[in-house]
Amino acid sequence: MPIQDKLRKCFKEGDKGERHKGLRRIEIKKEKINGHLNKAKHNYTAITTFHNTGFSDWSASASFYCLYHALLALLAKYGFESRNQSCTFAFIEDLVEKRKITLTKEELKEIYDSEVREDLEHSDKILDIREIMQYSIMTAIENKEYQFLLDKTKRLFDKIRMEIEKE
């Protein structure tokens, strides 16, 4: 579905005000932006905490939600909130296409790539790693994969945070 069609659908869903549905316009408030950034930082810290306490499978979820809250902060900066992950990614992709932010489509696809449909077990996309760890019976992530996840999360989080802090 073309991005503009997806966004129209997301805004229509958001207008209904239902739980976990769509996008809607909100008042731009520093508290909301900073709240999402603080949650992102909290989740970034959790990546290492989970790993160090023997719950590294949860590091993948913390990684994804660190970046997701950073993206929600970016939406809030533009006066929107999202109640749906695919709508969030569509909105960010639209910002990328319109060159309102310097994040690239390739960087966004490092978090989530809807085109990855086969061999998900070997995907290096952060959402795919989170889903594998969350829904599988594995209780630990390998150290090499953990370090990869931590490094990728930091690099992307820093870039998204710079976008939010730009005037």
CB of 47 closer than 8 Å to CB of 126: no
- CATH label, 3-165, candidates 3.40.50.150, 2.60.200.20, 3.40.50.300, 1.20.120.330: 1.20.120.330
- pLDDT of the residue at 127: 84
CB atoms within 10 A of CB 75: 21
For the record, the structure tokens of 5 come out as 């069609």
User: Over its length of 167 residues, how does the chain's per-residue pLDDT go in tens digits?
Assistant: 788 999 999 999 888 766 668 999 999 999 999 999 999 999 999 999 999 999 999 999 999 999 999 999 999 999 999 989 999 999 999 999 999 999 999 999 889 876 655 655 667 778 888 888 888 888 899 999 999 999 999 999 999 999 999 87
Residue 10's alpha-carbon distances to 15, 79, 152, 156, in angstroms, are 9, 15, 28, 25
For the chain, the 3-state helix, strand and coil shares in percent, each to the nearest 5, are 70, 5, 30
Domain locations in the chain?
Answer: 3-165
3-class DSSP state of 104: coil
- pLDDT of the residue at 83: 87
| Rounded CA separation 12/18 (Å) | 11
- pLDDT of the residue at 118: 60
Torsion 27-83-23-112 (CA) sign:
positive
Which residue shows structure tokens 């710079």?
162
- pLDDT of the residue at 114: 65
- pLDDT of the residue at 122: 64
